[in-house]
């Protein structure tokens, strides 16, 4: 499992009865989570100290209820420190996951200020806040990969930048992590509002002058145009939605479209590509399925390694891990 266990400004305090109790900076939010099917006692006192509560509706969706919560606030994350943990059960010590020492040797050489990302948060529709904190496990991993390649190219006297394409890029968490590591990033999302939000996050993170290309576009159509233009990227990140509608009202379901999307996007990889990352929050798209697709489409062409796992957040109250979707990683062995 890839676990985002290096947060200071965020934590999952507890989980029960379909909800998770979270701390975002100094504010406590209660939000629904489909993975929380257990009904454990509400012992933690923070269940009664809420600043925001998203109530589900029987008709679908829901609405927020606020208690002394500002319309917007910020939290930060320091890159470098999260490590993947093997999904093993330690019978002797009754621990579900045994930690593995961090292996982000490239990031650890950067000053803390250079690897600090800052995000604007604001609760909005469908229970969201503008950030998926579990993705920090991926940010740490790929920013370390990018920085290593940036350093290798510098050592070889090359001025060629590491180019990263971030599709379905949302509010820019992955974009900022890649840019902080020295990449030239193309950020693509169909929502103008989300791209603007990502720009504000870049400014808050001291990355307003970083080489980031901000694009409001349909991701699939953008990829098709890039193929025709002959453009290439060293790494591709994608976080496609589970369900949605295209610009002409066409229905998008990740299970129906993801294979073709990976296949199409992989045509943009350079011959010396670094990695390909895909995330999913759909229960029907399991890690083994991701591994198979990445193997057939990318590993068969470039070699390298594939690692696909659930992504999770540690729960403070009981030391267990809340699953939050899964990620599939293909990486070229550059060592």
- Does residue 279 fall inside a structural domain? yes
CATH code of the domain in which 130 resides: 3.40.50.150
In this predicted structure, what is the pLDDT of residue 297? 98
**241 pLDDT tier (thresholds 50, 70, 90):** confident
pLDDT confidence band for 101 (50 / 70 / 90): very low
Per-residue confidence at 90, pLDDT binned at 50, 70, 90?
Answer: very low
pLDDT of residue 245: 66
User: Residue 225: left if φ>0, alpha if ψ -120 to 50, beta else—which one?
Assistant: alpha
Q: How do residues 150-186 score in pLDDT, each as one tens digit?
A: 999 999 999 999 999 999 999 999 999 999 999 999 9
Residue 31 belongs to some domain of the structure: no
Residue 17 lies in a domain: no
- For residue 212, the model assigns a pLDDT of 99
Instruction: Tell me whether residue 295 is in a domain.
Output: yes
Residue 9 lies in a domain: no
Residue 67 lies in a domain: no
Sequence-ordered list of residues with C-beta below 8 angstroms from that of 307, at least 6 positions apart, any chain: 84, 328, 329, 331
Domain that holds residue 121: 73-331
In this prediction, residue 104 has a pLDDT band, given cuts at 50, 70 and 90, of: confident
**pLDDT (0 to 100) of residue 98:** 46
pLDDT-derived band at 86 (thresholds 50, 70, 90) equals very low
Q: What are phi and psi of 30, to 5 degrees?
A: -115, 120
pLDDT tens profile 281-297: 877 789 999 999 999 99
Instruction: Report the mean per-residue pLDDT for the chain.
Output: 91
The per-residue pLDDT for range 16-62, each reduced to its tens digit, is 999 999 999 999 999 999 999 999 999 999 999 999 999 998 877 89
Is 7 among the domain residues?
no
pLDDT tens string 197-206: 999 999 999 9
Q: Identify the band that residue 83 occupies on the pLDDT scale cut at 50, 70 and 90.
A: very low
43 in any annotated domain? no
Q: What is the widest separation between alpha-carbon atoms in the chain?
A: 61
Q: How many domains does the chain have?
A: 1
Q: How far apart are the first and last CA of the chain?
A: 24
pTM, to two decimals: 0.91
């Amino acid at each position: 499992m890839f676990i985002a266990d290096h947060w200071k400004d965020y934590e999952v305090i507890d989980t029960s009865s379909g909800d998770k109790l979270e701390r975002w900076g100094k504010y406590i939010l209660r939000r629904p989570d489909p993975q929380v099917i257990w009904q454990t006692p509400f012992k933690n006192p923070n269940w009664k100290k809420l600043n925001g509560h998203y109530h589900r509706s029987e008709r679908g969706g829901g609405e927020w209820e606020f208690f002394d919560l500002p319309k917007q606030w910020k939290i930060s994350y320091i890159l470098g420190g999260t490590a993947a943990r093997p999904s093993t059960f330690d019978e002797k010590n009754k621990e579900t996951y045994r930690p593995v020492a961090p292996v982000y040797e490239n990031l650890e050489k950067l000053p803390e200020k250079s690897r600090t990302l800052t995000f604007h948060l604001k609760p909005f529709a469908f229970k969201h806040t503008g950030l998926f904190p579990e993705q920090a496990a991926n940010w740490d991993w790929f920013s370390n990969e990018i920085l290593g390649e940036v350093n290798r190219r510098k050592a070889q006297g090359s001025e060629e930048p590491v180019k990263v394409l971030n599709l379905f890029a949302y509010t820019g968490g992955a974009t900022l992590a890649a840019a902080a590591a020295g990449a030239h990033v193309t950020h693509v999302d169909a929502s103008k509002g989300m791209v603007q939000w990502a720009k504000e996050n870049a400014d808050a993170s001291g990355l307003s002058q970083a080489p980031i290309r901000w694009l409001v576009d349909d991701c699939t159509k953008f990829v098709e145009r890039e193929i025709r233009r002959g453009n290439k990227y060293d790494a591709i990140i994608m976080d496609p939605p589970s369900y949605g509608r295209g610009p002409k009202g066409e229905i998008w379901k990740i299970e129906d479209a993801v294979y073709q999307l990976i296949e199409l996007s992989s045509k943009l990889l350079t011959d010396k590509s670094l990695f390909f990352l895909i995330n999913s929050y759909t229960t029907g798209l399991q890690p083994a399925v991701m591994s198979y697709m990445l193997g057939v489409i990318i590993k068969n062409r470039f070699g390298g390694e594939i690692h696909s796992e659930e992504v999770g957040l540690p729960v403070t109250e009981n030391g267990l891990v809340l699953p939050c979707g899964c990620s599939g990683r293909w990486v070229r062995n550059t060592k």
